[in-house]
Structure 1
Amino acid sequence: MPAKRGAHMTPPPRPGGYAVRFGTTAAAKGWEELCRTAASNAWDAWVVLSEHPASTVNPNRQHLLKGDLRDHTHDGVVFDQWQYEVTSAGRIWYVVDEELKTVWVTWAGTGHPKLTD
């Protein structure tokens, strides 16, 4: 969908970096809410996802999901699903397509995901 007047301009990936895209409309809405409530942390999350999305350097914030949530199918391909902890409750779940250098955000929100309860 083309951008419209008043829409946020999304920066392109850095050379060698990753494009970050929404896998669902719900993920896009959750991201907007994270940006409204925790802008600085959301910016930090975007930098990590666009530069080193499959890193385990900071396991307190970024790690593979476990159990049934670890595998996620996107466009018919099964990927490992990661989590980035934006705030104490806010999360981003995503998969990394290394071939396309694209991060697909599968879920985002300000509250702890109910699937993990």
Structure 2
Amino acid sequence: MARFLNNEAAKGWEELCRAATSNTWDAWVVLTERPRSSENLGRQHRLKGEYSHHIIDGDKLEQWQYEVTSGGRIWYVIDEENSTVWIARAGTGHPKLTD
């Protein structure tokens, strides 16, 4: 199951859907079926450093990134215990936090 961590992530997802429908659908399939996939490391990888984890309900969970377009990104958090992938950040522009 996938859920949005906040309203900003949901709005960013909507932007991605409008800008790149097919790629966003592909991302949804990967995130919900194989969130740790190493099939395409150019598009999907674990974030590093201070962004490698995200705290949700007191649990430190892995945070990953999926590249939807050349600028569009999805940051997501894998919560295995609850069988949930949390969409933490999504949008058509590259997140400047990792520059």
Scaled by the length of structure 1, what TM-score is found? 0.82
In structure 1, what is the equivalent of residue 84 of structure 2?
Answer: 102
Structure with the higher helix share, 1 or 2 = 2
Which one has a bigger Cα radius of gyration? 1
Q: Pairwise CA RMSD of aligned residues? A: 0.7
Note the residue ranges of structure 2 that are not aligned, 5 or more in a row: none
Aligned to 2:97: 115
SS in 2 for 1:92: strand
Specify every segment of 5 or more residues in structure 1 that has no aligned partner in the other structure, as ranges.
1-18
For residues 8 and 57 of structure 2, what CA distance do their matches in structure 1 show?
Answer: 17
Q: Which has the higher contact order (CA 8 A, sep 6+)?
A: 2
Structure 1 CA distance, aligned partners of 2:83 and 2:16? 24
Q: Which has the higher strand share?
A: 2
Which residue number corresponds to residue 25 of structure 2?
A: 43
CA distance in 2, matches of 1:80, 1:69: 9
State the TM-score, normalizing by the size of structure 2.
0.96
Match status 1:58 vs 2:48: no
